[in-house]
């Protein structure tokens, strides 16, 4: 490896730094001409998807003060070879609201202080467009709202082209919602709230003949705040669900393949490109941002995390930490949606149902206020905007949404486990249970895992009413079998013309010495329906199903692994019988509770 190898741009969102300091750059500038067809743009994407990098790129392309640096910034790019007439034509007024304090006592003063600082930087940077007397007149206004009004009037009168960029527009508002609750959030975003007033000023600056704002680009993670502060943002185009821009943020498979090849050749990645891509596809891919898209994209932060971890951990071909802590949605931001006064609400059930069913059929709405979040379609849409669900096709004329990848599945299952613990419904000793799953994967000792869960359910009675249906039990088992990453835990997985309830696929790429995989079939009887004859009938049915599934030729491809079928029979919440099924019913064991 030499010093000329391009740096890994993990955590780097400054476009000028990426281009001038030898960072790897994935060129997305081909989208600039398409974006120029829309003067006022809203673009919502999940966290860590490259929004801030794109925000910085737009600054670099449109800022009139960077005209002499065009070749440095854009040489070799699509837009560098085919620039538009709009390049370097604008004064840029930019805000990043993640820099505003979310402390309820300080937020208004900090917002005023921060936005005035941004305006001061703007007036200083473009001093030739704003004579001293004009700049002083703008500064002398009593608040940022009146200062912006004066600015917009002046640029409209003088024909100055103004581009307003707002990054993380909903950051501190969401934090206030989590930390201080809905009433404080409502005061911020409704009535005479200063944040609502700010957007009223923006709307005025972008409206009517001779509007002061020529262009506006606004990003965030959710449309909820925007709906609340504008009562429906109708001054611009929301391109978040437009297929034309589906790949503007995130990496396509060909782009990821190019990254892997480069760092494989550089010696940073020990895996062959095909092997590394298989892992990354499982953990980081699967996002589609329009219902008509047929192309999946990878989360940008996750990709760079993988490359960085490969470089840091040269001894192991697979990073120890496949999930970057920075892509974990703050649990508190979801907890207030599924817990009220330490009670699980309907949103928790909807989140759990997504995993139970494998998908949810619902359209994604472009905006809705917080007050309407309890409506199923709105909550489902919010899960989509957070990146917990993504488009996966159509079902009976509606969009089908599903979990995009293993990273998100681990996050959701973690939320479910934490929620059950937070309401005092179920808690286990994590380390001993993790050890048991390890024994299951390497030694085939599966019975202690399910015995332990059954014992804990017996001991912690509050969980019993929750485990009221077969699908609920399936989701419960999935949540706890997924507590570490030795298995890919798949539900309703197709084998030999049937669908097994749970498939525990060994993560061989990371744990090459793992020995065992499992196919689990669940059977369920209500407590008032228990009969020995009916139980035996269900057990025989499950054994026959597993025998069929275990004949699937794909299982034979893992020459070093043994796949075992397991039948679990529940009566209500009680695990009545466990049986092991080999590929030829080679052994059967049962335990009664």
Diameter over CA atoms, the chain: 93
Distance CA(559)–CA(549), nearest Å, equals 17
Which of the listed residues 193, 212, 245 is the one where a domain comes to its end?
245
> Does residue 481 sit in the same domain as residue 533?
yes
Looking at the domain assignment, is residue 494 inside a domain?
A: yes
pTM, 2 dp: 0.91
Residue 282 confidence (pLDDT): 96
Looking at the domain assignment, is residue 541 inside a domain?
A: yes
> Does residue 186 sit in the same domain as residue 151?
yes
Average pLDDT in the chain: 90
Average pLDDT (365-390) is 88
> Does residue 564 sit in the same domain as residue 536?
yes
Tell me what percent of the residues of the chain surpass a pLDDT of 70: 93
Residue 62 confidence (pLDDT): 98
587 pLDDT more than 80: no
Q: Which residue has the higher pLDDT, 235 or 451?
A: 451
- Which residues of 355-445 form beta strands (DSSP E)? 360-361, 390-395, 398-402
Average pLDDT (311-323) is 80
Per-residue pLDDT tens over the stretch 45-87: 998 899 999 999 999 999 999 999 999 999 999 999 999 999 9
Per-residue pLDDT tens over the stretch 563-586: 999 999 999 999 999 999 985 333
> Does residue 61 sit in the same domain as residue 178?
yes
Distance CA(279)–CA(127), nearest Å, equals 52
Flag the least confident range among 466-480, 493-507, 531-545: 466-480
Which residue range forms the structural domain that includes residue 293? 253-327
Looking at the domain assignment, is residue 188 inside a domain?
A: yes
- What SS3 state is found at 228? helix
Question: Are 505 and 555 contacting, i.e. CB atoms less than 8 angstroms apart?
Answer: no
Which of the listed residues 227, 245, 263 is the one where a domain comes to its end?
245
Most confident of 171-185, 228-242, 361-375: 361-375
Residue 584 confidence (pLDDT): 35
Per-residue pLDDT tens over the stretch 403-460: 999 999 998 888 888 888 877 888 888 899 999 999 999 999 999 999 999 999 999 9
Looking at the domain assignment, is residue 572 inside a domain?
A: yes
> Does residue 80 sit in the same domain as residue 223?
yes
Q: How many domains does the chain have?
A: 3
Looking at the domain assignment, is residue 477 inside a domain?
A: yes
CATH code for the domain in which residue 51 is found? 3.40.50
- Give DSSP secondary structure letters for 437-462: HHHHHHH---HHHHHHHHHHHHH-GG
> Does residue 321 sit in the same domain as residue 454?
no
593 pLDDT more than 50: no
| Structure confidence at residue 331 as a pLDDT band (50, 70, 90) | low
Residue 523 confidence (pLDDT): 96
> Does residue 241 sit in the same domain as residue 259?
no
156 pLDDT more than 90: yes
Residue 31 confidence (pLDDT): 98
Q: Which of 373, 285, 313 is CA-nearest to residue 510?
A: 313
Residue 1 confidence (pLDDT): 40
Q: Which of 586, 241, 196, 163 is CA-nearest to residue 369?
A: 196
> Does residue 131 sit in the same domain as residue 264?
no
Average pLDDT (343-360) is 78
Average pLDDT (94-107) is 92
Q: Which of 513, 508, 505, 497 is CA-nearest to residue 564?
A: 505
Looking at the domain assignment, is residue 308 inside a domain?
A: yes
> Does residue 584 sit in the same domain as residue 529?
yes
> Does residue 148 sit in the same domain as residue 260?
no
Flag the least confident range among 228-237, 245-254, 309-318, 508-517: 228-237
Looking at the domain assignment, is residue 370 inside a domain?
A: no
Looking at the domain assignment, is residue 545 inside a domain?
A: yes
Average pLDDT (268-280) is 93
> Does residue 130 sit in the same domain as residue 269?
no
Distance CA(149)–CA(198), nearest Å, equals 10
Contacts of 86 (CB under 8 A, 6+ apart): 36, 62
> Does residue 521 sit in the same domain as residue 579?
yes
Contacts of 311 (CB under 8 A, 6+ apart): 8, 263, 268, 269
Which of the listed residues 327, 360, 378 is the one where a domain comes to its end?
327
Residue 335 confidence (pLDDT): 65
């Amino acid at each position: 490896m030499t010093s000329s190898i391009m740096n890994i741009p993990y955590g780097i969102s400054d476009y000028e730094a990426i281009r001038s300091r030898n960072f790897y750059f994935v060129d997305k500038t081909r989208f600039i001409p398409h974006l120029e067809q829309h003067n006022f743009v809203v673009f919502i994407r999940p966290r860590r998807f490259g929004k801030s990098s794109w925000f910085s790129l737009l600054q670099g392309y449109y800022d009139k003060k960077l005209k002499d640096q065009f070749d440095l910034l854009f040489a070799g790019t699509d837009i560098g070879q085919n620039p538009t007439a709009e390049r370097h034509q604008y004064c840029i007024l930019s805000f990043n609201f993640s820099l505003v304090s979310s402390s309820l006592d300080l937020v208004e003063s900090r917002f005023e202080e921060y936005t005035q600082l941004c305006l001061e930087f703007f007036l200083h940077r473009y001093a030739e467009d704003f004579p001293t007397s004009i700049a002083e007149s703008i500064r002398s206004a009593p608040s940022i709202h009146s200062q912006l009004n004066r600015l917009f009037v002046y640029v409209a009168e003088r024909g100055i082209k103004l581009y307003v960029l707002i990054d993380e527009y909903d950051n501190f508002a969401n934090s206030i919602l989590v930390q201080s609750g809905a009433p404080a959030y409502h005061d911020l975003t409704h009535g005479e709230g200063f944040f609502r007033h700010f957007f009223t000023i923006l709307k005025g600056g972008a409206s009517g003949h001779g509007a002061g704002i020529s262009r506006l680009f606004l990003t965030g993670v959710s449309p909820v705040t925007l709906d609340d502060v504008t009562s429906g943002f109708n001054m611009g185009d929301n391109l978040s669900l437009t297929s034309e821009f589906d790949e503007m943020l995130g990496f396509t498979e060909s782009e990821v393949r190019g990254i892997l090849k480069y760092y494989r050749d550089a010696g940073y990645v020990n895996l062959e490109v095909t092997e590394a891509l298989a892992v990354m596809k499982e953990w980081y891919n699967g996002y589609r941002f329009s219902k008509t898209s047929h192309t999946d994209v990878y989360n940008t932060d996750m990709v760079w995390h993988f490359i960085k971890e490969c470089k840091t951990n040269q001894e192991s071909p697979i990073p120890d930490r496949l999930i970057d802590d920075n892509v974990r949605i703050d649990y508190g931001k979801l907890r207030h949606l599924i817990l009220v006064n330490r009670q699980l609400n309907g949103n928790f059930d909807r989140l759990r149902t997504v995993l139970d069913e494998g998908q949810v059929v619902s359209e994604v709405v472009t905006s809705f206020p917080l007050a309407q979040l309890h409506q199923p379609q709105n909550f489902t849409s919010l899960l989509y905007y957070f990146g917990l669900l993504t488009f996966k096709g159509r079902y009976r004329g509606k969009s089908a949404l599903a979990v995009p990848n293993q990273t998100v599945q681990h996050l959701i299952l973690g939320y479910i486990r934490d929620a059950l613990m937070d309401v005092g419904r179920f808690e286990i000793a994590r380390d001993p249970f993790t050890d048991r799953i390890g024994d299951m994967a390497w030694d085939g000792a599966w019975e202690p895992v399910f015995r332990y869960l059954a014992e804990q359910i017996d001991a912690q009675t509050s969980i019993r009413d929750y485990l009221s249906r077969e699908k609920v039990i399936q989701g419960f088992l999935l949540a706890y079998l997924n507590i570490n990453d030795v298995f890919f835990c798949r539900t309703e997985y197709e084998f030999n013309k049937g669908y097994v309830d749970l498939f525990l696929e060994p993560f061989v790429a990371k744990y090459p010495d793992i020995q065992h995989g499992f196919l689990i079939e669940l059977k369920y009887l209500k407590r008032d329906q228990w009969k020995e004859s009916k139980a035996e009938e269900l057990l025989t049915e499950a054994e026959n199903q597993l025998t069929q599934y275990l004949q699937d030729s794909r299982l034979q491809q893992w020459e070093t692994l043994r796949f075992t079928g397991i039948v679990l029979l529940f009566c209500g919440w009680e695990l009545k019988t466990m049986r092991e099924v080999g590929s030829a019913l080679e052994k059967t064991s049962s335990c009664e509770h």
